[in-house]
Amino acid sequence: MYQLAPNIELLFTEAGEYHDRVRAAAAVGFDAVEMWGPTGVDAPSTPKDLPALKAALEETGTQLTAQLAEPRTQFMIPPWDHSEFFRKLDEGVAIAQDLGCPRIVVGSGTGFGGWKRQVQLDKLIEIYRKAIAQIDGSGVTLVLEPVNVRVDHPGSLLDRTSEAVYVARGVDSPQFGVLYDIYHSAVESEDMEAELANAGDLIRYVQLADAPGRGEPGTGDLDWAERFRLLRASGYDGPIGLEYYPTTGSEASVAHIVELGRTA
């Protein structure tokens, strides 16, 4: 049985504030949630009420499985000043520790047309080796997310699971791994079984949405019983983030995936 973690940016929004969304998720049986940026990735001027969020997590016994790093940095675009990323990384780790969150999701940003792709991947390795050295001993793992460029993230450098795995192997740290997003992988027409086999134990977190459409499982074309079978066969037994745009009420939208998750 997989631990499923609804994304409280997208799900249980009917409940109101983020802390109320945690309580709403817990009320229907979830013991985990995930979120995007802890201080408002899309609206920095209106940060989340972190004390209230922490209180809701503790009150309900809910695990926060993942949060995004802030700011979302363009690592490869000139002038190559990454100081704000490294400064905010310490803040993000402190927030993660306070909220009991073991993972911070990081990315690649947009690719730079002036460099060969391999050069940029190797630059990412350098950047994340430095990041891991900075947070060494924190208990927080950085998970690198490749995202699709065909629909949602045009121009992103990392759009292939295998290249995220390449970077993770180069960083070579138990505090660094790969986020495998079933939706992004499907949009890029990847072979899930092959990608998971290549990644091995570098997969440290998984997210899902159906494709096409990025709605709840059952709204697209993916065979979810088969996807769970492949995930289980790969040896992954960690949490799964439900990062989709619901096409109906939150509680109704999770019903199908919850049923599959119970038997996976």
Give the span between the Cα atoms of 253 and 26, in whole angstroms.
Answer: 15
Q: Annotated catalytic residue: which of 9, 70, 216, 243?
A: 243
Asked if 84 contacts 73 with a C-beta cutoff of 8 angstroms, the reply is yes
Whose tokens are 């990315």? That residue is 107
Name the active-site residue from 9, 34, 70, 145.
145
User: Rounded to a whole number, what is the largest CA-CA distance in the chain?
Assistant: 51
Q: How far apart are CA 232 and CA 226, in angstroms?
A: 10
> Tokens at residue 169, please?
């192997």
The verdict on whether 243 is a catalytic residue reads yes
Helix (H, G, I), strand (E, B) or coil at 24: helix
Sole residue written with tokens 């929004």: 13
CA 157 remoteness from chain centre = 17
Q: Cα dist. 11→116, 120, 246 in Å?
A: 39, 35, 7
Beta strands in the chain (DSSP E): 4-6, 32-33, 63-64, 67-68, 103-106, 141-144, 176-181, 203-208, 240-242
Q: Is 9 marked active-site?
A: no
Q: Indicate which residues carry an active-site annotation.
A: 145, 243
